[in-house]
Amino acid sequence: MRKPFSRRPTPVDPAHMITLHQEAIEQLELMRSSADAAEHATDSMRDSLDSMTENHWEAYMDVLHMISLHDDSMANSIKKYGLKLRDNETEENERQWGNRLLLTLLLLGLIRRHRRFVQFYSQRGNPMGEYLRNSLAMEREHLAKFISMINYVM
């Protein structure tokens, strides 16, 4: 009698996940700097900085999509909040910027969450590994919440 095929989760390569989370951090920091500069700019300079901010957000969402391909739990957390990683917005749907200070603070929180993931993946085999593994579910939820809030503010 044949055993039915069951999908096994693929093992996660910690070095690759660290690289992806570091790229996410980089995109968010670039986004934060352009959003901060746009807050103090006017007219066409502000429009250019806002465009850069949106480009970094889209690049971040692409990186997050790659992370989700390797981390099913992350993909589930993101879907739970109704977020779409591949959003095909047209140029007609320009973002209306909300509170820029709130956006900056949310970006800082999101950057901190990704740093926690880098820490987790670099601590594999450590005696604290069990604790970090347990806190990872909470971190995924918080990450998804932050992304949802930033989408709302933008």
Of 98 and 101, more confident:
101
147 occurs within a structural domain: yes
92 occurs within a structural domain: no
Residue-wise pLDDT tens digits, 59-90: 999 999 999 999 888 999 888 888 876 655 54
Domain of 28, in residue numbers? 14-37+46-84+99-153
8 occurs within a structural domain: no
Q: How many structural domains is the chain composed of?
A: 1
Dihedral sign (CA 20, 25, 30, 32): positive
Rg (CA), the chain: 18
9 occurs within a structural domain: no
The whole-model pTM stands at 0.82
CA nearest neighbour of 72 among 137, 6, 149, 130? 137
